[in-house]
Amino acid sequence: MKKNNPFGELFYRSLKKTLLIMRIAILFLVLGILQVHATDAYSQKTRLSLNFSNAELIDVLDEIEEESGFYFLYNEKLLDTYREVDITADNQLISNILDNLFAGTDVKYSIIDSKIILAPEYLTKEDGELAVQQQQTITGTVTDAKTGEPMVGVNVRVKGSTIGAITDIAGKYSLLSEVDPNATLVFSFIGYQTMEVPVAGRQIIDIQLVSEVLGLEEVVVIGYGTVKKSDLTGAVSSIKSADLVQSEGRTRVDEALVGKMPGVQVQFTDGEPGSAPKIIIRGVGSITAGTGPLYVVDGMPVDNIDALNMKDIENINILKDASSTAIYGSRGANGVVIITTKRGTEGSPIISFDVYSGWQKVSRIREMLNSYQQAKYFIDGLKQRLLDMGRDVSGHPSTWDIPAAAEALDVVEGRNTRDVNPLDYVLRTAPTQNYSLSVKGSANKIKYSLSGEYLTQDGIIIESDYKRLAFRSNLDIQINDKLKVNVNLNPTYIHRNKVEASGHSSEPTHISVIGTATTLHNYFPILASDEEPQGNATYYLSDEGYYKFEGYGAESNILNPVAIAKEINRDNTQTGFLGNLNIIYNLLDELSVNAMLGGYIQNVKETYWRPNLPDVFYGHAGYADASDQRSWDQEWIMEYILNYDNSFGGHNLSAMGGFTAQKNTYHNSYFESNRFSSNYIETLNAASEITGGYSNIYEFSLMSYLARLNYNYNNRYYFTSSVRMDGSSRFGSENRWGTFPSVALTWRVSEESFMGNIEFVSDMKIRASLGATGNHNIGNYEHLSTVGFTNFPAGSGYVPTSVHNPYLGWEKQRQWNFALETSLFNGRLNFNIEYFNSLSSDLLLDVNIPRITGFNSALKNVGEVRNRGWEFSMASTIIAASNFRWATDFNISGYKNKVLSLDENDAPIISSTHITQVGRPIGMFRGWIVDEERPIFLNWEMIAEGPVWAPGTNAESRPGDRIFVDVNGDGHIGSEDRVEMGSPYPDFYYGMTNNFSYKNLSLAVSLNGVQGNQIFSESARSNFNTKGRMKSVIEAWNYWMSEDDIGDGKTPRPHHNPIGGNRQQWGSWALQDGSFLRISNINLSYEIPDELIQRTRLNIYSVRVYCTAINPFIFTNFNGFNPEVSHRPGDNLRPGMDLNDYPIAKSIVFGVNMTF
Amino acid sequence: MKNIFYLSGIFLLIILMGSCEDFLDLEPPSELVTGKVYNSESDFDQAVLGCYAQLLGIYGNRWQIGDLRADDMWQEAQNMTSQVLVDTYTGHTASDNIWNNGYSLIHYANTALKKINDFEFNNKNSLIAELKFLRAFVYFDFVRVFGDVPLIKEPVLPDEAMEIGRTDLNIIYEDLIIPDFKEAINNLPSHRTGEDIGRATKGAATALLGKVYLTKKDFDNAETTLKSLTTMGYSLLADFNDIYDWNNNEHHSEYIFDIEYSSNPNIPGSSFTNNFSPNWDLYRAHFNIGGVLDNCGSPTEEFYNLFEEGDLRQPISVSHGFTGDDGVFIEIPLGANLPSTICLKYAVQVDNNGNGEANWTVIRYADVLLMLSEAMNENEKTNEALTYLNQVRERAGLEALSGLTQAEMRNAIEKERRLEFFGEGNRWFDLVRWGKAYEVLESLGMKEYMVLWPIPQLQIDLIGNPDILPQNPGYEGL
């Protein structure tokens, strides 16, 4: 080639160097992308058989496309598609076939996803000879709009002329002739939308091409199979490993789902390290049975995903509507979470090492009275009592008829200035660390993905911690062209030191770290190392170095929070082994059979030890307490699935049918003793006798037949139908088998010809589905009649203790789902709107039955609950410049729950805090409602107006007491005025994620929130009971003291012996707004530039450093540790309760991720 | 490699062909299902004992029906509003208790009776007889307390139960109570020995059948049936007080059938000591009665005055105090919010509240003698009847009566029963049987319809159809 311009040559030489560096970088990037993408479902290991002689290349390529699911991208001008070729291949790897096909030509291929890009070799050369050899007028880079990767072989042409160019491996093009500044460039590439760009005098024009099938080629895992996202007919939400990256630093996989999916509530109800979030999919559809979703990991249904390593996850798909979940039959009603783990990739090993380290501390604490306020509150409460009794309170409080407690007077009169929150003693900044290592690759037809993880996390309450060790080995063995075997093995180990965090604390028998720490006044010393407060009160220090809180006038008899945390040991170990073997055999091209055998074992061991320390645990003085609890959970499953897949003349058909059986056996045992002669040995062998215990075995078996048909015509009209028949040992003999059908219709409007003109609509789909599912979480043997033993002086006998109910069956759910999916502007803006209406019927209730049966109640399938809701989600790419991207995902959902019927008489189910009645949602709060207009009686005139509490009794309301709403209008407040008073259900909940990337830097910010629910704070019984012997919340301040000193006019007076319903359980004063907005995640990560890595001369492929802040900010009016409360997580009838539960943490972690 | 496929295919076929139902039919390894028991003689023996245990619940507060609702007993019931209040005749947990526990027992008995047919063993007829005895025993209470009730002779499922209404009590007598007792008489042993002491005997069935006939005013059959007992070896104890010496032999010559309680920690005890205790700390301390209770079933002062001078039954039936450990009689202090009288029949030391040794006497020989006397008097054999009445009187240290007319005799028997059986659950049933309940109790607030008790309202509500299960008149809308 000519090099006749020395000046130009100099210029080009320096340019060449720069370009070289850039290209090397880009090459690495492309290689990296190639490798990353090689993990996808379509991979190079695909095998084909071909037999062509003297055929044109284009026919061979067509055949390969048809056989393999790959499609070719190439520039027709650069590829001689009419070249005659001979090729014979018998079940050869596609790479081998392509090697043969293009042997001796200059064509190179690369495989990305299911795309095979063909381009002449010179375009892929590194030195970019083409670009520098000729005079150029316009240059630029063409990249893929979605992935940002450079595109090779793109046709660039000046409109209306013969001037043109092709992009090279780096996506670079150069036009070599003069171009009219007013001309228009046309960029075209098969599979991508052609773009026309006016030159407008520019010399550099960078372009992003948009795939015509953007995002729709993604494969979504549904139950017992996969479909292309474009062919999806049900409501399925997905999250991929790439989206999980921003949650690096979270302990559990399910935590990463928070706020990411519409219709899926992920609640952090318990801050204990390693504890599972509560997941509710599309509302609560059961009154007494379980509401958790079914988890399926690599085809294995499992009880929990406690030990899953987040870095192993390839994707998570949540099936929400009944047409998707019906394939799981009697287990589908609460939704199904399908988790797929990463598999091995073709090629040399890729080793990843990730380490992060961080700290956590309490997210927020309850705001309470300080020492002075609390002491004054107590003394004023005493004064109120004495005034009620008509006693003289003019003298010094120590001279009153009931003298004020010395410890409170010390504070009020300045002798004791201590003001330290006891929470400071039991909460801490806790470190966390995680190391994970994985290797993926292939060797001798075996693809492997091996990983190990070690996680250690201290709890934010002292003495609590969590350690996890998890290994995984996923092997794919191609035995021959028809037979493939997949093996997954996953051993895990979890160890936890637990503390007794939760619960009330008003008695010395109450053992709760948070309860005692929020009950104890700030002016008491706690440990021997504390300075003993000055003043007249005396403080008792036990030999063990803990102050003892007993016998104080101003404080309840409670335990020392530090002692509870330190002296009591609860040690929990969990080991698990999950494994399955998949044999996939291709009977015909269209027909394959998949046999799966799997099983898991999970062992849990928990030991408890409370030493006998009479001065410390004085509620249990004189004896120690120990228990030893073990469980063994084992399950095996087998599954045989036939898959059929065919297309003909626009008809696309796939069908699946199969059989599966599984059996679970659960053993547990528990032994306890309090007969220990010393504190030296903590195990039961030191006890003189075992004082209690049990051991049980439970079994459960399930056998199912399932089938599904997916049909579409021209990718335009879709029909899906599935059916599952489940036989379960949990159900009565007359109702052992159930059938769960579903049907779904989808119309892809955007494929219609009349939509052809509406260019901004890239995809539009209308879906409707109806399906039936069940909830089998009802206990193992409820349908059987069992006997119980009784003793009689003439000997022991037995009697039947439960009714035989051969008709007992699963709880049923029928759900309608309607959806509109729209993708606009080449997939840059996506909307999805869903509406569902699900009716849960045959709900299990223990209903009263005529006593002539011999029993007073029996479990029956009677209740009905409806959930109706909507979901909206939006995904948009706001900015997609070559080095800056901003994408936003947003979702919002809401549902309304309504009980349609209960038992025969529809009798409401009432507990002390909740009521469940027909026509209202399950588990609404129940109590006396404080009158918002007139919250307290300010004076005797108002008392005269009423309504007063319990007139004529000692508890009758007086000025300063609360005013309740007289619901039944009888003029006074009594038990009939205790009614539904609030709702634990939000009006809506939402989540949003913003992803920014600038060059090598990425930032992800996620938030989530709920709006409109209330929280029933059971701790108000201690902390807002107006009595003042337990530390009070800040809301108790500014109280009424006399007709002339009314405080804020709405806060009731303190009272040493509360009257007027101030302390009754329960009232609306214990309710708080539960709405919150939380920044759940901020993740900042930086990819170290390749040239820096190169300089190290180490064999490092990539290095990424990151920092994640988890739950850094929360905005809420709730005065507590955590607005996502669930004190009784399994109890659907009593939701929304808060009781000093383990507080949740906010945390920050720093990590580095290296790939070799 | 194809072998693997074929093997798995064969495996699949085996599974499909094999019995699915077996795979799905799982029984709990740690719980006993009904299907596993009722399989052997010892199983059925235990099933029968299970029914007996149910009696403990039924009879725990039967005194509230048999005595408290009648005229000789009262109780202060501030904290016991759920119990029977004599002054208002409200509160019916005692009758609810009979219905609920009674139908459970009937179900247990019917279940065992149904299953026992499939087996053959030596003791089978005796066990069947015992089950029928228990079933008839409960039904006899049912018809006397509630009138017409559902007649359940086989186990019923909940859905079937919704359609079952009340059966005329005469049909229940003819269909179940009388034939069941007769079968029991034929097949039950005359005596129980060893561990079996306390279980039903031929004598118990005979005595109860006699009471059934007497209640039905079938005096001929009553006389024959009751008379047969006089030759079965029963006799009155010499000392009336010995009947209530619960720490000694409870199964003496006068005993015919009791509800058996035991203070053994693993066996339910009785709470009769509490139930007949005033809220008097000295008394409670003496018998080790704990807890906060009101004054419970106390005899009235009028009842105290009914006894003739020298009636040996008076000191234990109705007393103005008790004798302490040192043998000194302690009188109830006046004006201390206490009743003036106590019944001492169940006054024994208890080691724990509600875990007393005292039995509930269902029927004893004195009852047989007085019933026989009553039947014969109605059969116009007044003179012969007098001999049986006098046996009871003489044991009580009273002079024998003579030369009474039939009507005078009736009054004498009625008074004798009233004095003999105070606190043993007979007075109310006697008054109803004699048709005198309303006449005697009207002044205490009784209405005419109250000869029957209400059916538990929950049961009425559950059926929700008065055409199937109506409430007893007067109690509608409780």
**Residues B25-81: pLDDT tens digits?**
888 888 888 888 898 999 999 999 999 999 988 898 888 889 988 888 887 654 443
The answer to whether the Cβ–Cβ distance between B20 and A727 falls below 8 Å is: yes
Residue A2's pLDDT band (boundaries 50, 70, 90)?
A: very low
pLDDT at B217: 96
Which residues fall within 8 angstroms of residue A538, CB to CB, at 6 or more apart?
Answer: none
Summarised one tens digit per residue, pLDDT across range A299-309 is 999 988 999 99
Please report, rounded to a whole number, the percentage of residues in chain A having pLDDT higher than 70.
93
The answer to whether the Cβ–Cβ distance between B268 and A791 falls below 8 Å is: yes
Question: What is the token pair recorded at A1030?
Answer: 């337990």
pLDDT at A13: 46
CA distance A976 to chain B (A): 18
Averaged pLDDT, A187-198:
76
Longest dimension (CA), chain A: 121
Averaged pLDDT, B291-319:
86
Higher pLDDT, A915 or A82: A915
Residue A169's pLDDT band (boundaries 50, 70, 90)?
A: confident
- Residue window 689-718, chain A: list those with CB within 8 Å of chain B: 695-703
Summarised one tens digit per residue, pLDDT across range A664-698 is 999 999 999 999 999 999 999 999 999 889 999 99
Summarised one tens digit per residue, pLDDT across range A562-590 is 999 999 999 999 999 999 999 999 998 88
pLDDT at A76: 65
pLDDT at A21: 46
**Rounded alpha-carbon distances, angstroms, from residue A43 to A243, A364, A537, B50:** 22, 48, 78, 69
Nearest-CB residue to A640 (from B12, B26, B30) = B12
Entry field: residues in chain B: 478
Paired strand residues for A695 = A669
Residue A596's pLDDT band (boundaries 50, 70, 90)?
A: very high
Summarised one tens digit per residue, pLDDT across range A412-431 is 999 999 999 999 999 999 99
pLDDT at B386 over 90: yes
pLDDT at A508 over 70: yes
pLDDT at A1099 over 80: no
Residue B11's pLDDT band (boundaries 50, 70, 90)?
A: low
Averaged pLDDT, A830-854:
92
- Check if A583 contacts B (Cβ < 8 Å): yes
The answer to whether the Cβ–Cβ distance between A794 and B198 falls below 8 Å is: yes
pLDDT at B92: 66
pLDDT at B477: 61
- Distance in angstroms (rounded) separating the CA atoms of residues B316 and A510: 48
Question: What is the token pair recorded at A96?
Answer: 């081998």
Query: Which of B249, B462, B463 has the highest number of chain A CBs within 10 A, making it the mutation to test binding with A?
Result: B462
pLDDT at A873 over 80: yes
- Distance in angstroms (rounded) separating the CA atoms of residues A582 and A597: 7
Are the CB atoms for A446 and A477 separated by under 8 Å?
yes
DSSP characters for B290-301? -S-----SEE-H
The answer to whether the Cβ–Cβ distance between B1 and A483 falls below 8 Å is: yes
Averaged pLDDT, A75-88:
76
Which residues fall within 8 angstroms of residue A631, CB to CB, at 6 or more apart?
Answer: A602, A603, A604, A666, A667, A668, A669
Summarised one tens digit per residue, pLDDT across range A1026-1058 is 988 999 999 999 999 999 999 999 999 999 988
DSSP characters for A502-522? -S--SSTT---HHHHHHHS-T
Question: What is the token pair recorded at B45?
Answer: 């023996």
Are the CB atoms for A725 and A670 separated by under 8 Å?
no
Summarised one tens digit per residue, pLDDT across range A309-367 is 999 999 999 999 999 999 999 999 999 999 999 998 877 788 999 999 999 999 999 99
Averaged pLDDT, A525-537:
94
pLDDT at A131 over 60: no
Residue B137's pLDDT band (boundaries 50, 70, 90)?
A: very high
Higher pLDDT, A741 or A182: A741
- Distance in angstroms (rounded) separating the CA atoms of residues B282 and A281: 64
- Distance in angstroms (rounded) separating the CA atoms of residues A193 and A171: 16
Average pLDDT, chain A: 87
pLDDT at B7: 59
- Distance in angstroms (rounded) separating the CA atoms of residues A1056 and A526: 25
E-assigned strands of A1012-1075? Answer: 1014-1017, 1071-1073
Which H helix or E strand runs over A1117?
none
Residue B52: list chain A partners with CB under 8 A. 792, 794, 797
Summarised one tens digit per residue, pLDDT across range B417-445 is 999 999 999 999 999 999 999 999 888 87
Please report, rounded to a whole number, the percentage of residues in chain B having pLDDT higher than 70.
90
Averaged pLDDT, B217-223:
96
Nearest-CB residue to A797 (from B11, B12, B49) = B49
pLDDT at A453: 96
Residue A445's pLDDT band (boundaries 50, 70, 90)?
A: confident
Nearest-CB residue to A798 (from B5, B47, B107) = B47
- Distance in angstroms (rounded) separating the CA atoms of residues B110 and A1056: 59
Kindly report the backbone phi and psi dihedral angles of residue A875, in degrees, each rounded to the nearest multiple of 5, phi listed first. -130, 125
- Is this prediction's pTM over 0.90? no
pLDDT at B90: 57
| ipTM (interface pTM) | 0.90
Averaged pLDDT, A276-299:
91
Residue A123's pLDDT band (boundaries 50, 70, 90)?
A: low
Averaged pLDDT, A23-41:
40
The answer to whether the Cβ–Cβ distance between B1 and A640 falls below 8 Å is: no
Sign of CA dihedral A373, A374, A375, A378: positive
CA distance A475 to chain B (A): 18
Which H helix or E strand runs over A478?
strand A465-478
Residue A214's pLDDT band (boundaries 50, 70, 90)?
A: very low
Query: Which of A704, A787, A796 has the highest number of chain B CBs within 10 A, making it the mutation to test binding with B?
Result: A787
Nearest residue on chain A to B19, judged by CA atoms? A703
Averaged pLDDT, B272-288:
86
Summarised one tens digit per residue, pLDDT across range A1121-1149 is 999 988 888 889 999 999 999 999 999 99
Summarised one tens digit per residue, pLDDT across range A920-969 is 999 999 999 999 999 999 999 999 998 999 888 888 999 999 999 999 99
Residue A190's pLDDT band (boundaries 50, 70, 90)?
A: low
Residue B156: list chain A partners with CB under 8 A. 852-853
Query: Which of B3, B6, B34, B105 has the highest number of chain A CBs within 10 A, making it the mutation to test binding with A?
Result: B34
CA distance A804 to chain B (A): 8
The answer to whether the Cβ–Cβ distance between A793 and B21 falls below 8 Å is: no
Which residues fall within 8 angstroms of residue A903, CB to CB, at 6 or more apart?
Answer: A845, A847, A848, A860, A862, A863
Q: Which of A504, A468, A473, A499 is nearest to A486 (CA)?
A: A473
pLDDT at B292 over 70: no
Nearest-CB residue to B34 (from A703, A785, A792) = A785
pLDDT at A36: 38
Question: What is the token pair recorded at A168?
Answer: 């090279």
- Distance in angstroms (rounded) separating the CA atoms of residues A624 and A186: 84
Average pLDDT, chain B: 88
pLDDT at A92: 78
